[in-house]
Chain A
Amino acid sequence: MNEQAQQIIGYILKEVVRRPSVEIHEDTPLVSSGLIDSLELVNILVKLEDVTHMRIPAAKVQPKDMDTVNLMFATAQRLGRPRK
């Protein structure tokens, strides 16, 4: 796992899921499994922007594009623009 993915997973576990019994990998479904609610996506998206140093146009992001950590990075790659 690369360092960026570790940062996002660490953030989700510590700030969003907050349950010690839960394990998350890059391909663990998060929204569709109910582990995180769509109301949490705003903070995760902000974290993703910080980690990738990108600006991601939120209106083009669907919850399905954020369902796993791998999908989050694919979304950042597809939609993100380098931060000024």
Chain B
Amino acid sequence: MTAPKHCTLIQALFAAPPEKPFITEWNDEDDIRAVTFGESIRLAKLQAAEFLAQGLLAGDRIILIMPQGIPLMTAFAGAMMLGAVPAILAYPNFKADPDKYAAGLAGVTQNLKARFVIVDEEFPTELSTRIAMADGARLVPSPIPSLGSAEPSLPALSLEPHGLAFIQHSAGTTGLQKGVALSHGAVLTQLHHLATALNVGDQDRIYSWLPLYHDMGLIACFMLPLAYHVPIVMQSPIAWVVRPGVMLQLISAFHCTLAWLPNFAFQFLARRVRAEDRGSYDLSSLRSLVNCSEPVRAQSIDEFLSTYEICGLPSDVVKTSYAMAENVFAITQSPVDGAPRRIWVDGQQLWNDGRVVPVTDKADKSICFVSSGRCIDGNQARIVCADGTNLPEDRVGEIMIRSDSLFGGYYNRPDLTAQAFQDDWYWSGDLGFFHDGELYVIGRKKDLIIVAGKNIYPQDIEEIVWNHPAIHDGRAVAFGLYNPDLGTEDILVVAEVEQEEQLKDSVEIERAIRNAIVAELDVSPRAIYLKPPRWVVKSTAGKPARSTTREKLLAEYPELNRD
């Protein structure tokens, strides 16, 4: 196994050929911005000089809340140049509730003990004036440096491989997010293994719409291009959602070779791009589209491939990967030559006994799983039962991982860190099995809901529901249900009203609950079922039992079961 060529991300960036294209940012047909590696280094240095003048020091945590694009990316690199530790948070959208947003940000600044929160000039004033931050933190509007400014001289700093490079956030609502602190060494080690597994080379160009506050966007589509000098063509997530066909135009025009997408995106692209536009795309340049960050569904892949076959899309272009922020990114990657393997197993034996019994694809109650591939270099995974004892191949259990890029712990949260590890193995919380040496991920151990690649804890939704005065405190259950039309999960909520007669106001109650969930979590439940008292099934401990309540609801509404 070879080692990464550079000791820090900044050293890797400085080694880039200055004239090579780095970031192409598509905002609209008449608004495309592009910078070379040389220009982006210059912009990052200008940002660094600005931060330095504001008093940012090596080791300081700095939170960046800016729209997706070149200024955010160069501010991130600029902060790293000073040895400061940047963390990107989601830019608030118009649905955010100002009070909740402010409280969430206060929680993050407190947890990271951040000294600066950098926002762009268009950051909503109704939010910036209400932000209450932890002691010592300052809100600073970011001036965007222009390329014409003279290149500043920065103090000579020797960054160390074991020094913190940045913090990326794992699942959770804003205030409770777990910060995963990563060193330059860990990130470069992961990128080295990933680049080797994907055979990343000079001919590559990455396309991305992925948010940079998420590991798939930050690591695969920003840090990998930065350290391996791969040009990247990007849009914002919202630009992609409103007109997904532009992604295919950009891949055609820029001859992109690599992209990462969550599972739902494959189905979204197959169904939401106008059929009459498809003839104009040439997707033959693509060599790997990696399906990652939510459970992989064969149906979504097949629908995508058959829709875009006419555009020259290679039939084995979709690859798979199992990845998580705690490991910097990937643990497994399916081979670059060929399609990931599939297995059909007996559904009854799988769900009842946790046994993987292969059957034919036509067998009654067979379930298809798509392999996430083998562990990449430096990474190990094993399947265990609840006490951490190893399970053999073809048995379902929790996936534990160990690697040479695994994080050391959640930032400032020794309590959460202690729960997450057994010796040097990390409890992933995901369920899966090994078959012929390849990992198949089948879902979450805990009831985490994954909507379009975004992780949502059901308890975050349930708490919002309880807060409505008409809902019996503690008597609400939220869960995810796979929607085959979308290729991702829908959120369903069931809640008890305090008094049965309140059900006559259910339209109004439902509207208020829906508003509150959207304002706080930026997700919309597919349906909210209001029920009379004592409907929600309780566990022996008197708490709502999610799985049995879910079964009860699905039995009452069989039309919900479409998988």
Residues of A within 8 A of B (CB): 19, 21-22, 31-39, 41-43, 45-46, 57-64, 67
The verdict on A32 contacting B94 (CB below 8 Å), with A41-B241, A59-B242 known, is yes
**B239 close to A59 (CB less than 8 A):** yes
* Alpha-carbon distance A33/B513, docked complex (angstroms): 9
**B238 close to A62 (CB less than 8 A):** yes
**B29 close to A59 (CB less than 8 A):** yes
**B524 close to A36 (CB less than 8 A):** yes
The residue that A42 contacts in the complex, of B31, B272, B517, B525, with Cβ under 8 A, is B272
The verdict on A32 contacting B95 (CB below 8 Å), with A39-B486, A59-B29, A62-B238 known, is yes
**B272 close to A31 (CB less than 8 A):** no
**B94 close to A39 (CB less than 8 A):** no
**A63 close to B517 (CB less than 8 A):** no
What chain B residues lie within 8 Å of A67 (beta carbons)? 94
What chain A residues lie within 8 Å of B238 (beta carbons)? 38, 62-63
B540 to chain A, nearest CB (A): 34
Tell me if B203 counts as interface (CB < 8 A to partner A).
Answer: no
* Alpha-carbon distance A64/B274, docked complex (angstroms): 24
Beyond A42-B242, A58-B242, list 6 extra A-B contacts (CB 8 Å).
Answer: A34-B524, A38-B241, A58-B239, A59-B28, A61-B242, A62-B94
* Alpha-carbon distance A61/B243, docked complex (angstroms): 10
What chain A residues lie within 8 Å of B452 (beta carbons)? 39
The verdict on A64 contacting B94 (CB below 8 Å), with A38-B241, A41-B241 known, is yes
* Alpha-carbon distance A37/B242, docked complex (angstroms): 11
Tell me if B507 counts as interface (CB < 8 A to partner A).
Answer: yes
A57 to chain B, nearest CB (A): 6
What chain A residues lie within 8 Å of B111 (beta carbons)? none
What chain B residues lie within 8 Å of A45 (beta carbons)? 242-243
* Alpha-carbon distance A46/B268, docked complex (angstroms): 15
**B28 close to A33 (CB less than 8 A):** no
B262 to chain A, nearest CB (A): 12
The verdict on A46 contacting B274 (CB below 8 Å), with A34-B524, A58-B246, A63-B93 known, is yes
A11 to chain B, nearest CB (A): 15
**A41 close to B95 (CB less than 8 A):** no
* Alpha-carbon distance A67/B95, docked complex (angstroms): 10
